Amino acid sequence: METIDKIKQQIAENPIILYMKGSPKLPNCGFSSQASQALMSCGEPFAYVDILLNPDIRAELPAYANWPTFPQLWVEGELIGGCDIIIEMFQRGELQPLITETAAKHKPADAE
């Protein structure tokens, strides 16, 4: 599968996805740490991709997203932004309702 197709599939399959360095519990950069902390404090599950383990995605995503840096938060197929935007939205009280409403919309009705 082409890298761009893989990225599109990840974004399509995960209503809330964070492309970051490391994982939410073990971030490998301060910006990824702040972004994942803000997301985790919203209390909803979210997907993440460790771009350090996926150099193909790390190379291709900035061009696809037209956004040069990581982390990148995508919600319902739309790029929300990076660390500064995520933190700003969190502080303004805009991130929590976005994440909560998105998670509620995508809760599996037929949860296994």
5 assigned binding-site residue: no
- The whole-angstrom separation of Cα 112 and Cα 105 is 17
58 assigned binding-site residue: yes
92 assigned binding-site residue: no
42 assigned binding-site residue: no
- The whole-angstrom separation of Cα 50 and Cα 31 is 13
21 assigned binding-site residue: yes
29 assigned binding-site residue: yes
Instruction: Report CA Rg, the chain.
Output: 13
Assess contact for 98 and 51: CB atoms under 8 A: no
Assess contact for 99 and 75: CB atoms under 8 A: yes
Binding-site residues for [2Fe-2S] cluster: 29
**Residues tagged in the binding site annotation:** 21, 29, 58, 70, 83-84
Which residues sit in the known binding site for glutathione? 21, 58, 70, 83-84
